[in-house]
Structure 1
Amino acid sequence: MLHKNEPVIIKRGRRSKRAASHGGAWKVAFADFTLAMMALFMVLWIMQIADQDERTQIVQYLRGEMYSTGAMNPFDVGQSSSVIDFEGSPAIQESIIAASGTGADRAGPSMYNNIPEGDAEANAGQGPDLNAMVPGQYETQAQLVVLARYLNYVVEQSKMADNIAVTLVPQGIRILIHDNIDRFMFTRGSAQMQSYFEDLLLALGPVLGKVTNAMVISGHTDSTPYIGSLFTNWELSSQRALLARRVLELGGVKRNQVIQVTGMADQVAYIPEDPAAAANRRIEVLILTSTTEEVIRSMVGVPAEHLDAGINLQDAKLQAELNQPSARN
């Protein structure tokens, strides 16, 4: 049988290329992406918890301008005299590290010292306007008006402008700081001071430290009673007034300026028609004229002329006893 020559067909398949082995470059890229996201979240977190002044300090620190402007390092907690306790609230403590100067030059007890910076000599307090303030005794009406204007300037720069009233009174100048429904100076029922109230007292310290007028500090509460008899509004108002005096001295007030600290409880209401009102919880600082200071000192002490009169009276009595006639035997 004849066979036909059939063509031989050879089918060749294409060789599949092996997949290229992956290196570790993707891991480096993913790590860079994770680091960038972490930095973004850190920036967003800092922007959320920090106010505008704290952001300015952080920017100055990153640029290396922190110490040239006299500001404190916001990341250096070792230089701060304020500590955070386990309950998350600032606790007043004196700085372990010795601090020089007063006011903005001194590390006060507050977490953040809310003293504005001026264009010239900002470390002295409120800037060039306050630096021009003449130290000394303020007695006349015109002098008291000037001092009241400086105090109003400090108040307007603080976060408690709605809670403060600076008024001229016959005894001098009264600085009245009270609570309202939105902001309290102290935690309710305790003498734990809020940070913004510390900042206000520290800002007032450099101004009050420039004058030589004596001062009286009084603490007041509302009529809400305490349960029990060991701790009452008398103790609470006294503790708050004493703490206010301490912070003012840290801010620049001289120790011998404050001649009296009193706790008035709820006896003198700021709003008599509503004894439980928040405004009745207040701290009053009275800057005295020399005449008022003499009156207060005479109320708690024996004036020199009365002391001399008492000595002369005793001498006269002794002389009278010696001059008594003797009976004859």
Structure 2
Amino acid sequence: MALKPEAIIIKRKRRGKAHAAHGGAWKVAFADFTLAMMAFFMVLWIIQIADQQERTVIAQHIQGDLFESGSINPFDLSSSPSMLDFEGQMTIQEAVIPTASTGAGIRGPALHNQIPEGTKDAKAGRGPELNAMVPGKFETQAQLELLAREIDRVIEDVSMTANVKLQVVPQGVRILMHDNINRFMFTRGSAEMKPYFEDLLMALGPVLSKVENKMSISGHTDSTPFAGKTFTNWELSSKRALLARRVLEYAGVENNQVIQVTGMADQAPYVVHDPAAAANRRIEMIIMTTDAETQLRQMTGLPVEKPAPSKELIDAKKLAEANQPRSRYPESWTKQ
């Protein structure tokens, strides 16, 4: 008996697609997207609450170009000003701070008239501090840079570096104290000085009182006008400059050391492309060299002061007069 072959049953199953392994890459991407959106909306919020002036300053901070090369009255400072680098970079001239070596013969580039007087702990000089600033006149580029560094130390001590700009220019040392978003030097629209600005001037007084150079002080405002006509930016800038001079005098600066106080209103903006910028509201002081002082005196009709002769010159003149040739015979004999 023959066996019947068994039927072969073939079952067809639909294959499912393999699922990809679940990773965390999408979480990282989503977190980056969320962070970017949060930063975007924060920028929109800041722009919404800030006025046009603050927006301009923010844009300048982002671009890294907050300060521009402006001009100062009555001199033109656009002729290659020497910007001091207080971060330890090389300057255009050698510093005048003496070396730590001992002995007057190896005191380095220190000038003889800038050596401290005294007899205690003498090193390169004759004073207790090797790098002390000696009262006197500052004329050369090296001397002006030394003075600017002393002023910069004072500015750092009162935490006002964000509001003060220092420049060494051919006319002397320019000290520019300006407003920014966080701090105003004066109450807006008035000559009421803020306490921290008064502290800055009081701290600068002892240093400036050691300087025999004449000083010029000028007040500046932004381009925002006043509603009335009796009180304008001219009066406001003048009052602020006069108040700054008064505080400096109270801090130790001699009355005759300030040779000029002017109010410039908005005629000399520091940020030229934005006359309404906060940095345009400022007080500028320039510690003038003798040449700059002479130029200012000639421009304003002030008498030009001649420098007093030094003691060495007076002694040399006396010796020369005493060493005149004398006649062999008495004067009475020559008249006969």
TM normalised by structure 1 equals 0.52
Q: Deviation string for 1:163-182 (max 9, x for gaps)?
A: 10111011000000000011
Matched, 1:260 2:253: no
Q: Which residue of 1 aligns with 2:233?
A: 233
Cα drift, residue 132 of structure 1 = 2.4
Q: Which residue of 2 aligns with 1:66?
A: none
Matched, 1:171 2:175: no
Q: Which residue of 2 aligns with 1:48?
A: none
Q: Which moved more, 1:255-264 or 1:128-137?
A: 128-137
Q: Which residue of 2 aligns with 1:271?
A: 271
SS at match of 2:144: helix
Return the letter of the residue paired with 1:144: L
Matched, 1:136 2:164: no
Q: Deviation string for 1:1-37 (max 9, x for gaps)?
A: xxxxxxxxxxxxxxxxxxxxxxxxxxxxxxxxxxxxx
Matched, 1:221 2:227: no
Cα drift, residue 207 of structure 1 = 0.3
Cα drift, residue 252 of structure 1 = 1.1
Cα drift, residue 161 of structure 1 = 1.3
Q: Deviation string for 1:223-281 (max 9, x for gaps)?
A: 00000100000000000000000001111111111000000000000001111110000
**Count of matched residue positions in the alignment of Structure 1 and Structure 2:** 178
SS at match of 2:138: coil
Q: Does the C-alpha gap of structure 1 residues 266 and 129 become closer, same or farther in structure 2, counting only changes over 3 Å?
A: farther
Q: Does the C-alpha gap of structure 1 residues 302 and 183 become closer, same or farther in structure 2, counting only changes over 3 Å?
A: closer
Q: Distance in 2 between matches of 1:219 and 1:302?
A: 21
Q: Which residue of 2 aligns with 1:248?
A: 248
Q: Does the C-alpha gap of structure 1 residues 303 and 213 become closer, same or farther in structure 2, counting only changes over 3 Å?
A: closer
Asked if the contact 1:166/1:176 (under 8 Å) is kept, the reply is yes
Asked if the contact 1:222/1:276 (under 8 Å) is kept, the reply is yes
Return the letter of the residue paired with 1:244: A
Return the letter of the residue paired with 2:159: K
SS at match of 1:181: coil
Return the letter of the residue paired with 2:189: G
Q: Distance in 1 between matches of 2:239 and 2:222?
A: 15
Q: Which residue of 2 aligns with 1:193?
A: 193
Asked if the contact 1:159/1:196 (under 8 Å) is kept, the reply is no
Q: Deviation string for 1:177-198 (max 9, x for gaps)?
A: 0000110000000000000000
Superposed counterparts of 1:1-329, under 5 Å:
132-301=132-301
Q: Distance in 1 between matches of 2:244 and 2:295?
A: 24
Q: Distance in 1 between matches of 2:131 and 2:240?
A: 30
Cα drift, residue 133 of structure 1 = 1.5
Return the letter of the residue paired with 1:212: E
Cα drift, residue 303 of structure 1 = 5.7
Q: Does the C-alpha gap of structure 1 residues 131 and 205 become closer, same or farther in structure 2, counting only changes over 3 Å?
A: farther
Give the structure with the higher percent helix.
1
Return the letter of the residue paired with 1:158: V
Cα drift, residue 158 of structure 1 = 1.3
Q: Deviation string for 1:128-171 (max 9, x for gaps)?
A: 86992200000011111110100010011113210101110110
SS at match of 1:186: coil
Q: Distance in 2 between matches of 1:295 and 1:150?
A: 26
Q: Distance in 2 between matches of 1:146 and 1:170?
A: 15
Q: Deviation string for 1:54-104 (max 9, x for gaps)?
A: xxxxxxxxxxxxxxxxxxxxxxxxxxxxxxxxxxxxxxxxxxxxxxxxxxx
Identical residues among aligned pairs (%):
67
Return the letter of the residue paired with 2:272: P
Structure 2, unaligned runs of 5 or more: 1-127, 305-336
Q: Does the C-alpha gap of structure 1 residues 129 and 246 become closer, same or farther in structure 2, counting only changes over 3 Å?
A: farther
SS at match of 1:165: strand
Asked if the contact 1:219/1:241 (under 8 Å) is kept, the reply is yes
Q: Distance in 2 between matches of 1:141 and 1:182?
A: 34
Return the letter of the residue paired with 1:229: K
SS at match of 2:287: strand
Q: Distance in 2 between matches of 1:194 and 1:224?
A: 20
Q: Does the C-alpha gap of structure 1 residues 247 and 302 become closer, same or farther in structure 2, counting only changes over 3 Å?
A: closer
Return the letter of the residue paired with 1:259: I
Q: Distance in 2 between matches of 1:258 and 1:240?
A: 15
SS at match of 2:168: strand
Q: Distance in 2 between matches of 1:271 and 1:138?
A: 29
Asked if the contact 1:225/1:233 (under 8 Å) is kept, the reply is yes
